[in-house]
Copies of this chain bind each other. A is one copy, B any other.
Amino acid sequence: MPGNSFGNFFRITTWGESHGKALGVVIDGCPAGLSLTDKDIQFELDRRKPGQSILTSQRKEDDKVQILSGLFKNKTTGAPISMIVHNIDVISKSYEDFKDMYRPGHADLTYDEKYGLRDYRGGGRSSNRETVGRVAAGAVAKKILNKMGIKTYGYVCQIGNVKIEKIDFKYIEKNPLRCPDKNKSKEMSSIIDNVRREGDSIGGVIEVRTIGLPAGLGSPVFNKIDARLASSIMSIGGVRGFEIGMGFSISEKKGSEVNDIMIGKKKGKVVFSSNNAGGILGGITNGQDLILRFALKPTSSISKPQKSINKSGKVRNLKIKGRHDPCLCPRAVPIAEAMVNLVLIDAIFENKLSKIENLF
């Protein structure tokens, strides 16, 4: 199937380009009877939008969402939920200069190779603006998950080579960086501010943690929950690495050091002595917290002069103007949360069909 849909049961299809008329998403498979209003969606879009601080792009994208279908008297009806956000603060002129240039680190070259043409205004479909649709759909998934007591928290855990040392969930949304460690937040923010002044950019790492999950989500083989999560996170622009639980560092360990030992049951739920597996065994949640991390490259668009080539292969000097994020991390948090929530809601639906007794 084509590449703009995600999910098997709760399926979303996003559409729209950076400088087109609008962007949006259609959700197919949302059950009937869920209370939902524009506000539920707008709250998450506001977390994603640029211009929230000097740490992010200064573009003004108000991103007002409108729900066009699938609701009746503020309840979902089981029909597709179509949501739209009109593009407003669009300055396409600045891109005319680059229309034949291939910007380093961008999809300009590869879109041209694949499609023979491309919408060069603001990156077109390859723009981060495409995630507006994902965040809107994720807000619906989140609403259902929250009713089930399941909560997903994303936060910045590394900027450049500075790492967090503690996690205070309540502090995350209190700082524009979405860092859960007050001390480190300042240090990280000044790194970002410095690269911004230099006309450069910086990478980072985000961690996502979901609490309140039941055991049993995900399925063997190709739909392992970690495989689905990896796919969903790697589909976000600029992500270069993904890990679960201990992640890459587990490769240096012995089995006897990292096996999470089960030590009993409490209220019918298994208790573990550790969570090196990040809440997953054999691709299925085990009831512990789900923990994943992913690496974001530094933003490719930098205002520092660079060299690159044009369509004909000639080397040219390149000076990217625009208004770009010096670091992708702060705004990637709500996007990653949305993707995780979309994977989880799908797995919850799937899990309803795992036992014959559930059909009766």
Give, as a whole number of angstroms, the nearest-CB distance from A309 to chain B.
Answer: 4
Q: Are B79 and A357 in contact (CB under 8 A)?
A: no
Cross-chain contact B203 with A252 (CB below 8 angstroms)? yes
Q: Which of B200, B235, B237, B245 contacts A255 (CB 8 A)?
A: B200
Pick from B15, B240, B246, B260: contact of A246, CB under 8 Å = B240
A106 touches which one: B198, B249, B282 (CB < 8 A)? B282
Residues of B within 8 A of A253 (CB): 202-203, 297-298
A112 to chain B, nearest CB (A): 9
How far apart are A38's CB and chain B's nearest CB, in angstroms?
12
Which of the candidate stretches A22-30, A45-53, A55-63, A173-181 sits at the interface with the other chain? A22-30
Q: How large is the interface on A (under 10, 10 to 19, 20 to 34, 35 or more residues)?
A: 35 or more
CB–CB A110/B69 < 8 A: no
Given the contacts A32-B355, A248-B248, A261 and B216 also touching, CB distance less than 8 Å: no
Which residues of A in the span 90-145 have a Cβ within 8 Å of any Cβ on B?
102, 104-107, 109-111, 113-119, 121, 124-126, 130, 144
Which listed residue (B247, B255, B358) contacts A31, Cβ 8 A?
A: B358
Q: A229-B234, A240-B246, A352-B352 are in contact. List 5 more A-B contacts (CB 8 A).
A: A3-B220, A21-B69, A77-B124, A110-B283, A264-B309
